[in-house]
Amino acid sequence: MRPLTDPAPDSPAAARAATRAAVREAAVWGAFAVGAVLAAPVGGQMLSVFAPALAAAALLLGRASGREPPAVGALALLTALYPVVAVAAGGTVTHGFAASASAVVFAVLPWLLGRYLRRRADAASFGWRRAELLERERDLVAERERLRERARIAEEMHDSLGHELSLIVVRAGAMQVGPGYGEAELRDAAGELRAGAAGAVERLQEIIGILRETGDPLAGEPLGQGVAELVERARAAGMDIALHGADLAEDAPEPVRRALARAVQEALTNAAKHAPGAAVAVHVEREAGGGWAVRVRNGPPPRGGPIAAGVAGGRGLAGLAERLRPLGGAVEAGPVPGGGFETAARVPAGAAPGSGGAGGAAELASRFASAQRRALRAAVLAPAGLLAALAALWLAYYLTASAGAVLAPADFDRLRVGQEQARVEAVLPPLSMLDPPAERVDAPGGEARCRFYRSEVTLPGAATTAYRLCFAHGRLVVKETVPVGTRPEGGDR
């Protein structure tokens, strides 16, 4: 549903708002592009002075733009290009890893923080708009609930009055076919009939009173009775009923007990309507899975018994199924061999009335809160994970490359200044140092070209010794040791 405070999608105000939003987003993207270019690691530097400007642009981009896939693609491209630019500008592989780390810290992390702030603001805006909608729709919801309650009361009227009137029909049928009724017996039967009709009228007045008092809940159990009371009233009306397992119904939870009573009431009503005078058996059972079940079976109407009333409703079993559905239950009804009819209702264990749509708003609010938590976790954990992955890759590369640049001390000792370069290179390792300490020694003069080798594999920054070998005109011209990780105190040439 579109919020009530938003302009119509095709209105001039909406078009102007969309144009302003597009201009703001384009400006933010432009600032991000400029910041990315200015903060590029060139000239062998580890960190550009424009890195804070890139961080500010990335924060604005995450805060302003709701289109996340393009931003994710731009950040991934930036993280991949920065090390290439750093190495191409004359830096080492270490400079390339440092450039990737700077892209994560000054671009990815600010964008994720801006994204989190935007989502939190959206959630707050949603809360205010939802409050406005609830305020305006409160009367409509109340009216809908009143209509729903009246429909439920109408179902109650159908079931309760239908049951009462069916018992009256049973009494009248017994008076019609009862043999040898004298004046006294007829008076007694007429009195019972009158009492039943008075009870039905009283029930009708009670329901009408509830309809007039809006908001009062309807009585819980049918006729305020359980299964045993319903059976006793039907017996008093002249029905032949056998009840089994009544105590099981009394042990059931309140919603289940009401549902079982509804099922028995509907089955007895149908038996009184369509098979007057027939024997009825009511069985209340506990099922293997812990649920409850009630079966009501009646035989065919006896010959010479009361004539069936012929009252047709068609809503009783359907209404019973609707009442059982929120509890997860079901009803089955149909003829049985021998001409009888059986109604079976089942309610599973742990049944509870459904909440309907009342939890929709809470669920939506929970989804917004969950989205905020995910955005916050991403803003913290994603950069940390990327930095950890970069550090692990760089350390693995450093150790691998360092292992290929180790010149054994014994081989270094055997080298002599003036030896031919080809003979010297025969004992040299395949790689040279990634991070040579060139700043700790003087540059060789003339056309000499120098290489640095390790004496052992160590972690970055650890104190050790490096070897410098310089070649000119095809011969070894410089052979010296250079300390690594500590200040030089001298060296052997």
Give tens-digit pLDDT for 72-81. Answer: 888 889 888 8
Say whether pLDDT at 132 is over 60: yes
Return d(Cα 392, Cα 394) in angstroms, integer: 5
- Express as a percent the part of the chain with pLDDT over 90: 12
pTM of the model: 0.44
- Is it true that domain 409-484 has CATH number 3.30.1450? yes
User: DSSP string spanning 216-249?
Assistant: PPPPSSGGG--HHHHHHHHHHTT-EEEEE-HHHH
Q: What are residue 2's phi and psi, to 5 degrees?
A: -75, 130
- Flag the least confident range among 90-99, 146-155, 463-472: 146-155
Superfamily of domain 149-347: Histidine kinase-like ATPase, C-terminal domain (3.30.565.10)
Say whether pLDDT at 138 is over 60: yes
37 — alpha (psi -120 to 50), left (phi > 0) or beta?
A: alpha
User: Strand pairing partners for 451?
Assistant: 469
User: CA dist 12 to 25, 126, 202, 225, 335, Å?
Assistant: 20, 24, 63, 64, 67
> What secondary structure letter does DSSP report for 442?
P
Give tens-digit pLDDT for 13-31. Answer: 777 877 887 888 888 888 8
Say whether pLDDT at 140 is over 80: no
- Flag the least confident range among 137-146, 181-190, 281-290: 181-190
Residue ranges covered by each domain of the chain: 12-141, 149-347, 409-484
- Type of residue numbered 53: A
Q: Identify the pLDDT of residue 190.
A: 67
Give tens-digit pLDDT for 374-406. Answer: 777 777 787 888 888 888 887 888 788 888 889
State which H helix or E strand residue 24 sits in: helix 12-38
Say whether pLDDT at 181 is over 80: no
Give whichever of 137-141, 188-192, 296-300 has the largest mean pLDDT.
Answer: 296-300
User: CA dist 312 to 166, 179, 361, 430, Å?
Assistant: 12, 29, 42, 99
Q: What are residue 99's phi and psi, to 5 degrees?
A: -65, -40
CA-wise closest residue to 243 among 222, 260, 224, 223: 260
Asked if 485 contacts 433 with a C-beta cutoff of 8 angstroms, the reply is: no
Q: Evaluate whether 149-347 and 409-484 have a shared fold.
A: no
Give tens-digit pLDDT for 318-374. Answer: 778 877 888 888 899 888 888 889 999 998 887 655 444 444 555 666 666 777 777
Return d(Cα 162, Cα 316) in angstroms, integer: 9
Q: Identify the pLDDT of residue 1.
A: 40
User: CA dist 9 to 127, 259, 291, 416, Å?
Assistant: 21, 49, 53, 84
- Type of residue numbered 183: E
User: Strand pairing partners for 294?
Assistant: 284, 345
Q: What are residue 491's phi and psi, to 5 degrees?
A: -155, 160
Say whether pLDDT at 206 is over 70: no
Give tens-digit pLDDT for 30-74. Answer: 888 888 888 888 766 667 788 888 888 888 888 886 678 888 888
Between 35 and 140, name the one with better pLDDT.
Answer: 35
